[in-house]
Chain A
């Protein structure tokens, strides 16, 4: 059984190297909405402000909100990359983040070597990597190309490989950020169904995206963030409708 309880979590991110440049401060505070406070030589951004929510088995949660609203910060909190500045996070179950499928790819290594390097980085055991090699080869349709450096691959081939490796996993809690388009249309279909398989195997899913149609296919709940505040959390359609309604008004 997987469970997430987030209680009153605030994340303050220090931004260094701003120095005495008041011009940059002004620009930043205009673009991200005045959430900055100065502390000594660096700025502090409240990336999440007093956020509380719970997630349980079967929850497929869409993270929605404008760019810079805190979606990625929330995902990084759940994956333990960012510590909470205050508040409390309880996570039961193994968290499996997938923000950037290209993680750990070395361009000069062969496809096969990358399966090993990336697979191990994603937390697979040597046995798991070994067992998934054939399946990755079949899915990517790369054949003998797996034995040449990935530097020679086309963008589509590279993404296919990265995506195939990144989706070998049995996640309890799956965190996805902006699922990228994978190659041509035909392959995208194949990739999407593979992604859905992984999602089905997970118990809790967080998916940050701006693509309403994809969210609608996958998610049953939505969590709306705005400037680090949790605006609304609940049933997918009603939160999305509120979010779209409000966006229209402000637009």
Chain B
């Protein structure tokens, strides 16, 4: 049994396949017309024949935020003027983070027929999931507009920083989705663990309550990367500069996470098709 490696790109030994994996992410990015199309189609499928389409998510989230906002502003004794903009932004950004995480499990499984038949970069299926959830995010972030008008939120130019924050969140969620997609395809129990974690983190992260409510226990927010992910988008839109700690945490998290995801993909890629 020879394991010859060759510089000839047409030769695919067991090693040649690995070299392909190094190019997987780049090839996946270059195939953006394909995954953006598939992502859009997923959304269209989901809301086919419904009059309001994806705006159902907008409506249900708007109701949730209004109801929760009114009740919790009393519980926490914070005025609606401060609380509602804070809650709506936090919860909408959380929606993007939690839905990409939750759908990461099925990234490869929903595309099983394609994966078993044609060789496309594995990253395509992951980018598709992140993209379609970003489309959903764009449908929900509009809720903030009436809230901002109603409570006279004027963030000013600093709001532009939210775009940088959002790009970082997107990049970060891409590695989370890729890693979890691989792990969940191999170990089906990971899905249950992560699903539970998502539920818990909604309450353990400053989304429905302000960081200040922690008092001296602020470390609970500081060590939570999800808090920083939300903060780099939420704070600028409320007219505040996110703390340096948040920027650093998000950047470090993205770099470390992508390193982990790439190593994982390299290890897994040769067997991934057999795990489906």
Interface of chain B: mostly helix, strand, loop or mixed:
helix
The total of interchain contacts (Cβ-Cβ below 8 angstroms) comes to: 97
A16-B275, A88-B4 known, 19 other contacts, Cβ within 8 Å = A13-B274, A15-B274, A79-B117, A80-B20, A83-B17, A87-B1, A88-B2, A88-B3, A88-B12, A91-B12, A100-B113, A109-B41, A109-B48, A113-B41, A117-B37, A117-B38, A117-B41, A122-B118, A126-B33
- Would you call A121 and B14 a contact (CB within 8 A)? no
- A67 to B62, alpha carbons, bound, how many Å? 55
Distance in Å: Cβ of A228 to nearest Cβ of chain B: 15
Whether B8 sits at the interface, judged by CB under 8 Å, is yes
- Are B2 and A121 closer than 8 Å at their CB atoms? no
When C-beta atoms are compared, the residue in chain A nearest to B48 turns out to be A108
Q: Is the CB of A84 within 8 A of B14?
A: yes
- What are 18 residue pairs bridging A and B, where the CB atoms are less than 8 Å apart in the complex? A7-B2, A14-B271, A79-B117, A80-B20, A81-B115, A81-B119, A81-B273, A83-B14, A84-B14, A84-B17, A85-B14, A87-B1, A91-B10, A97-B117, A113-B41, A122-B118, A126-B33, A149-B48
Query: In the complex, which residue of chain B has the Cβ closest to the Cβ of A87?
Result: B1
Q: Which 7 A-B pairs rank lowest in CB-CB distance, beginning with the nearest?
A: A80-B119, A83-B17, A88-B13, A86-B1, A108-B48, A89-B12, A90-B11
Instruction: Confirm or deny: A234 has a beta carbon within 8 angstroms of a beta carbon on chain B.
Output: no
Residue pair A106, B41 in contact (C-beta under 8 Å): yes
Contact A109 B113 (CB under 8 A): no
Contact check, B17 vs A87: say whether CB atoms are below 8 A apart: no
> In the complex, A81 Cα to B115 Cα: how many Å?
7
Cβ-based interface call for B74 (8 A)? no
Contact B41 A121 (CB under 8 A): no
Chain B residues near A15 (CB-CB < 8 A): 274
Q: Report the separation of the CA atoms of residues A100 and B112 in the bound assembly, to the nearest whole angstrom.
A: 12
B270 touches A (CB below 8 Å):
yes
Q: Which residues of B contact A91 (CB under 8 A)?
A: 10, 12
Q: CB of B23 within 8 A of chain A?
A: no
Find out whether the CB atom of B117 lies under 8 angstroms from the CB atom of A116. Answer: no
* Cβ distance A76 to chain B, nearest Cβ, rounded Å: 7
Residue B160 interfacial (CB < 8 Å)? no
Known: A106-B45, A109-B45. A79 touches B1 (CB 8 A): no
Q: Which residues of chain A come closer than 8 Å to B4, judged between CB atoms?
A: 88
Which residues on the A side are within 8 Å of B20 (C-beta)? Answer: 80
Residues of A within 8 A of B119 (CB): 79-81
Q: Which residue from chain B places its CB closest to the CB of A98 in the assembled complex?
A: B117
Map CB proximity to A onto B106-131 as digits: 1 under 8 Å, 0 otherwise: 00000001111111000000000000
- Report how many residues on chain A are interfacial, defined by Cβ distance under 8 Å: 40
* Chain B residues within an 8 Å CB radius of A16: 274-275
Q: What are the interface flags for A40-77 relative to B under an 8 Å C-beta threshold, 1 for contact and 0 otherwise? A: 00000000001000000000000000000000000010
In the complex, B34 has a CB within 8 A of chain A:
yes
Give the CA-CA distance A50 to B1 in the complex, in Å: 8
Q: Does B44 contact A (CB under 8 A)?
A: yes
Of all chain A residues, the one with the shortest Cβ separation from B42 is: A106
A89 and B13 contact, CB distance less than 8 A: yes
Q: CB-nearest residue of chain A relative to B13?
A: A88
A183 CB within 8 Å of chain B: no
A92 with B41, Cβ < 8 A, contacts A86-B3, A87-B1, A120-B34 known = no
Contacts of B45 in A (CB 8 A): 106, 108-109
Q: CA separation between A7 and B1, bound complex, in Å?
A: 8
Query: Does residue A145 face the partner (Cβ distance < 8 Å to B)?
Result: no
Check A109 against B44 for contact (C-beta < 8 Å).
Answer: yes
Chain B hits for A99, CB < 8 A: 116-117
Interface residues of B in 74-119 (CB under 8 A from A): 113-119
How many Å from the CB of A40 to the closest CB on chain B? 13
Q: Is A188 on the interface with B (CB-CB < 8 A)?
A: no
Given known A-B contacts A8-B2, A108-B45, A116-B37, A84 and B13 have beta carbons under 8 A apart = yes
Contact between chains at B273 and A82 (CB < 8 Å): yes
Distance of A120 Cα from B38 Cα, bound (Å): 10
In the assembled complex, the CB of B275 is this many whole angstroms from the nearest CB of chain A, namely: 7
Chain B window 184-200, contacts with chain A (Cβ cutoff 8 Å), 1 for yes, 0 for no? 00000000000000000
Q: Across the interface, do B10 and A92 meet the contact criterion of CB distance under 8 Å?
A: yes
Judge whether A10 is part of the interface by a CB distance below 8 angstroms.
Answer: yes
A121 to B37: give the CA distance in the assembly, Å.
10
CA distance A104 to B112 in the complex (A): 10
- Bound together, the chains give a CA A121 to CA B120 distance in angstroms of 9
Complex formed: what's the CA distance from A157 to B115 in Å? 25
Confirm or deny: A103 has a beta carbon within 8 angstroms of a beta carbon on chain B. Answer: yes
B11/A89 in contact, CB under 8 A? yes
Residues of B close to A122: CB separation below 8 A: 118
Once the chains are docked, how many angstroms separate the CA of A190 from the CA of B134?
44
1/0 per residue, CB under 8 A from A, across B254-276: the answer is 00000000000000001101110
